[in-house]
Amino acid sequence: MLTVDFSRFPLAPGDRVLDLGCGAGRHAFECYRRGARVVALDQNGEEIREVAKWFAAMKEAGEAPVGATATAMEGDALALPFPDESFDVVIISEVMEHIPDDKGVLAEMVRVLKPGGRIAITVPRYGPEKVCWTLSDAYHEVEGGHIRIYKADELLAKIREAGLRPYGTHHAHALHSPYWWLKCAFGVDNDKALPVRAYHKLLVWDIMKKPLATRVAERALNPVIGKSFVAYATKPHLPRAEADAT
């Protein structure tokens, strides 16, 4: 299940991509399939080991084009172990809401992104997320949990302040918002509640089968209750005079 829409976020074979806070690796895997040179980075060592196994399995199965590469590594988003201007593309999906110093993370992403490079940032959307927080303290008051809810204009302002130029936004995963509302209403750790189990089955069926009816419904509902807010931006090239001075 991808949150980044690659029809709005073009990726060319050979692009060097950083999936920052990659988690289980869903975006890193898609970039690898598209022929990119991918680095998947996360502070969770267990998840990184799983991502590395999947990269190896994809290579063995011939799922990645010739020339594509994939590396999984542990790292700190506030101190990225890469030189300046190392990547053509940076993706950070459902991560910034967990990090106290979100401006520091943005600064690091801008540092390692090449001029003209592209960045995709996704966070939980304000409205659906606010419902979750209202229904359940346990949803967000956990170690490593969500510490803030972004409004769209607030996130875009921070992106611009970091020196990036936003060029597009959208919402995603509308069908997932009711699932999390049910989880919060019946207990975040209560997977046995009938409404939660029934809706989970619906989501699994939708992800596996991708039926036209739910695809159309989600596209129609995304502007209203989309669970995620997605922003795309570029790092501008320096003006000639400033580049020469640098």
Over residues 154-171, the pLDDT tens digits come to: 999 999 999 999 999 999
Q: CA torsion sign, 24 to 201 to 178 to 206?
A: positive
Q: What is the pTM of this model?
A: 0.94
Find the mean pLDDT for residues 222-232.
98
Contact 101, 222 (CB under 8 A): no
Closest CA to 149 of 133, 121, 126: 126
Q: Does residue 242 have a pLDDT over 80?
A: no
pLDDT of 241: 44
What is the average pLDDT score of the chain? 95
Find the mean pLDDT for residues 88-100.
97
Which tokens is 230 given?
Answer: 């997605």
- Name the β-bridge partners of 96: none
Find the mean pLDDT for residues 47-60.
98
Contact 92, 105 (CB under 8 A): yes
Rg, C-alpha atoms of the chain: 19
Q: Does residue 91 have a pLDDT over 60?
A: yes
Q: Rounded distance, CA 34 to CA 207, Å?
A: 20
Find the mean pLDDT for residues 127-137.
97
Range with the lowest mean pLDDT among 32-36, 105-109, 138-142? Answer: 138-142
Q: Does residue 141 have a pLDDT over 50?
A: yes
pLDDT of 243: 43
pLDDT of 239: 60
